Amino acid sequence: MTKKELEEYLKTRRIDWPYEGRYRIERKDNHRFLALIDNEIAGLSYAEVDSNRKEAYMKMYLKAQFAEYGIGTELLNLLMKDLIESGYRIIRYEIPKERYSFQIYKSLGLKVEKQDEDRICFIRNVGPC
């Protein structure tokens, strides 16, 4: 999915956007972003990194009441961009199988690395290690 397609997708998710003027994303430090609504934390994305191996493991949490508006996608997209710009070559993201949304992860350039009955692990190889 291209950046333009992702932006269009996010717009469709925000047709009934109730947070106009109340929502923002802040970068807290390296590899950590907060989504805030009315100054309350709505979601968080961050990465655990191995600087020597240039590998990163993305994590993302979003409060249930803020799901389905593209906030989580935006958090992951910003984190992915930050990691790539920081030189990380292998980026992983692991989720419970019931939260699987292939379209979103594919738009981030992630591919299924492995899966079992409960979890799916995605990977993105940015360049040579």
Average pLDDT across each block of 10 residues of the chain; the chain has 129 residues. List them in order. Answer: 64 66 88 94 95 92 86 91 93 80 75 88 77
pLDDT at position 11: 62
3-125: what CATH class?
Answer: alpha beta
pTM of the prediction? 0.80
Q: Where are the domains of the chain?
A: 3-125
The answer to whether the beta carbons of residues 75 and 33 sit under 8 Å apart is yes
What DSSP string describes 14-48? TTT-TTTTTEEEEEEETTEEEEEETTEEEEEEEEE
pLDDT at position 129: 47
